Amino acid sequence: MKRLPGQGRITGLRRLMAAKGIKALLVTRREDVRYLTGFTGSTGTALVTPARAYFVTDFRYMLQARRETSGISILIQKKDWVSAVHDAAERSGAGTVWFDETSVLVDALGKLKKTGLRLKGSRSLPEELRQRKDARELASIRKAVRRAEESFRELKKDIRPGATEQELGLKLEYLMREKGARKAAFDTIVASGRNGALPHASATNRRIKKGDLVTFDFGAEADGYFSDMTRTICVGRPSEKQREIHGLVMSAQAAAIRTVRPGALCKAVDDAARSVIKNGGHAKHFGHSTGHGVGLMVHEGPSLSPSSKALVEQGMVFTVEPGVYIPGWGGVRIEDMVLVTGSGVTVLTTLPRELLWSEPAVWTKSTVST
């Protein structure tokens, strides 16, 4: 029997279930289902017990489920997935069925209760497993990084006065698709001039002007996994203030990356970046977390935030993305993806972090001290 992506992961989930005293777990979030079973379709639910695992889908995905999954019993729902789950739970002699309270809709929960199942909510257990990437997942993430970076390098020649944010965003997404991505990881952010003060700005019809800072936040897909990175460039030679703010953000990111190691608090990584920006006089201009996990979802655990209680663990992949956003002036964000190793960290993204500035047919690095 060939080994498919989901095999072995159900065994890991069962160990986690046993440690938490869970005998039957309902898995409904699409990314969790894919992680455990290998199924890439849009409709599927899994029920995992110590003895058996069931995958429920409908007729449309019958052949796809047989092709993509292995080591799991496939049930084709006759009425709806709720009834199929009830039947599987009864067949397994499950007492209480635990479910992910962050992904089961109220309507679905009501239908499950009407079947007579005893239900108990919890956080997503598969998400805990998904935070630590295996070799197969890392290969896909590296591919997603490569597709995004190669596309951005090709885009650079088009970043010039007169181009609009939307034009550049669409071109970047086209290039990523051309290189094999099924889609962009998210709506590409292109924020120029004063728009750079908006951390999640939508690309507009604003035309880029000479002297603008332009922030590009983008990512590509590969095998269902994503990349996420940000670079801020200057169209024309940067001013002293632009160099200063960019240098501050780059120093904050470097401090955070130096803090990453197994056993460290995710909060400590955030603190490292935040303290540099605070000491630079811009504490009020950095209001988001320093990073987040990336994998089958663009935003997943762990969170690198002031309130995070998570620990950094080997195998985690997350972003490190401090920024400074000044209303009426603009902003700077630098975002890289890192992999936690046994001794520290490997930066997966390779685009230059230094402030890049463009002139016709010329790209060079600004001399920014860190």
The pTM of this model reads 0.92
The answer, yes or no, to whether residue 364 has pLDDT greater than 60, is no
| Domains in the chain with CATH codes | 9-130 (3.40.350.10), 135-365 (3.90.230.10)
The answer, yes or no, to whether residue 357 has pLDDT greater than 80, is no
108-131 pLDDT per residue, tens:
888 888 988 899 998 889 999 999
230-258 pLDDT per residue, tens:
999 999 999 999 999 999 999 999 999 99
328-349 pLDDT per residue, tens:
999 999 999 999 999 899 999 9
Of residues 92, 138, 142, the one with CA closest to residue 117: 92
Query: CA dihedral defined by 122, 125, 131, 133, rounded to 10 degrees?
Result: -170
The answer, yes or no, to whether residue 363 has pLDDT greater than 80, is no
Tokens 């001794």 correspond to 343
Task: Specify which residues 301 forms β-bridges with.
Answer: none
Alpha helices (runs of H) in the chain, residue ranges in sequence order: 9-20, 30-37, 62-68, 81-92, 106-114, 125-130, 135-155, 165-178, 240-259, 266-279
- Pick the range with the lowest mean pLDDT from 120-124, 147-151, 207-211, 255-259: 120-124
For residues 34-45, give the mean pLDDT: 94
**Cα separation, 149 vs 164, whole angstroms:** 21
Question: Is residue 6 very low, low, confident or very high in pLDDT (cuts 50, 70, 90)?
Answer: low
71-115 pLDDT per residue, tens:
899 999 988 899 999 989 988 888 899 999 888 888 888 888 898
Of residues 229, 226, 236, the one with CA closest to residue 215: 229
Q: For position 131, what pLDDT does the model report? A: 97
